[in-house]
Amino acid sequence: MNSFFRLYGIKTPLLTKGSQISLILADSIRSSEAKTLEQGDIIVIAESPLATVEGNIIELDKVIPSREACIIAKQYKIEPEFAQVVLNESDSVIGGIPGFILSLKNGTLLPNAGVDHSNAPPGSVVLLPADPDKSAERIANELEKIFKVQIAVIVGDSRTHPLRVGSAGVAIGCYGIDSVIDDRGNFDLFNRELLVTKRAIADNIVSAAEIVMGEAAESTPVALIRGLGLPLTRSSGIETILPSECLFIGTFRPDL
C-alpha cells in the first residue's frame, strides 16, 4: 500500500429515484479536480443517495404501525410509523435510547436499522440499499466500461462508536478490493507475532472519504481515492462476525 494518496470530493446534481447514477458520476468526475478515473482508483458513495436512486424510500403516511411499534415508539420517543419501518428492517432489536433503536441487520449493529430521515424527501425515510455489494459491483462495472480502467467501489455509511462523540465511516458494501487486510502472522517492532490483528481497510477508506463528503447539504455524496495501490480483485463483500464473537455485544448480550 502506498503512503501517499489523493482524496477528491465529487459533487453531483441532486440524485432522485431512477437517476442514471453511473452516467451522473462519470460526468461529475470529469467536472471535478480528478478529471477522470485511473487504474486502481476507489470510489466511495454514500448509502442514502444510492438507496434513493434505487427507490428504497418509504412514505411514512402510508405506514400502519403495529401494537409492538407503538410500544417501542413510546419507549424510545420516536414516531410510531418510523418505529414500524425500523422493525420491518431489523433482524432483531437490541435496545435503544431516546430517538434511536439499536438493531441488528445483515450481521451489522446499527441505529434504527439504517433507516434515515436525513436527505430524504419530506414525509419520507430512506432505507439502506437492498444489496450494497451488488450495487457496488454494478457501479464499478459500468464506470469501468466508460473509463476503460479497473477500479473498486465502496458503499459507505456513518456510525457512532461506543462511548465516543461523533460519527465515523463504515463500509456496508464493497467490490474490487478486499474489505479487510489480515495482518495475522506478521511481526511487530519487538518481533512478537500478531495473532488477531485485522485491518478494516474498507471502513478506514470510508472514514477518510467522509472528510470531503460531509453529512448535510454539501451535495458531495461521492469521494474518489487515488494512489493507495491496493490490490484489485473481482470479488465483493464485507467481512462480519457473529454477535457472540463481538467484544461489545458478546459482553453485554451473550444471549444473542
Q: Which stretches within the chain are classed as H helix?
A: 21-30, 47-53, 67-76, 80-89, 132-147, 201-213, 247-252
19 found inside a domain: yes
At a CB cut-off of 8 Å and minimum separation 6, what does 59 contact?
Answer: 123, 124
pLDDT tens for 178-225 read: 999 888 999 999 999 988 889 999 999 999 999 999 765 668 999 999
C-alpha–C-alpha distance, residues 172 and 205, integer Å: 12
Residues 119 and 17 in one domain: no
**Chain mean pLDDT for the chain:** 92
Look at residue 215 in the predicted model and tell me its pLDDT.
62
Do 71 and 45 have their domain in common? no
Q: Structural domain of residue 237, as residue ranges? A: 6-56+131-252
Exposure class string for 146-161: b at 16+ Cβ within 10 A, else e: bbeebbbbbbbbbbee
Residue 50 belongs to some domain of the structure: yes
Residues 52 and 62 in one domain: no
Q: What is the pLDDT of residues 126-146, one digit of tens each?
A: 999 999 999 999 999 999 999
Residue 200 — φ and ψ, nearest 5°?
A: -80, 75
Overall number of domains in the chain:
2
Statement: residue 176 has pLDDT above 90: yes
With cell 479487510, the residue in question is: 180
pLDDT of residue 9 exceeding 70, the answer is yes
Confidence tier at 160 by pLDDT (50, 70, 90)? confident
pLDDT score of 217? 60
**One domain for residues 74 and 149:** no
Q: Quick one: 186 and 147 in the same domain? A: yes
d(CA 109, CA 122) in angstroms, rounded, equals 27
Residue at a domain's end among 125, 149, 175: 125
Tens digits of residue pLDDT in 76-120: 999 999 999 999 999 999 899 999 999 988 878 889 999 998 878
Is the residue at 96 inside a domain? yes
pLDDT tens for 45-69 read 999 999 999 999 999 999 999 999 9
What is this structure's pTM? 0.93
Same domain, 11 and 21: yes
- Domain's final residue, options 125, 150, 169: 125
Domain boundary among 104, 125, 146: 125
Q: Report pLDDT for 223.
A: 97
User: What's the CATH number where 184 sits?
Assistant: 3.30.1330.100
Q: Are residues 92 and 137 in the same domain?
A: no
Query: 41 and 66 share a domain?
Result: no
| 215 and 158 fall within a common domain | yes
- Assigned domain for 159 exists: yes
Residues 77, 140 within the same domain: no
pLDDT in tens, 231-244: 999 999 988 888 88
- Give first-to-last CA distance, the chain, whole Å: 37
In a domain, 1, yes or no: no
Quick one: pLDDT at residue 21? Answer: 95
- Is the same domain home to 140 and 243? yes
Residues 48 and 109 occupy one common structural domain: no
CA dist 74 and 122 (Å) reads: 23
The residues facing 222 across adjacent strands are 10, 45
- CA distances (Å), 248 to each of 95, 221, 243, 245, 253, in order? 14, 30, 9, 9, 8
The pLDDT of residue 61: 94
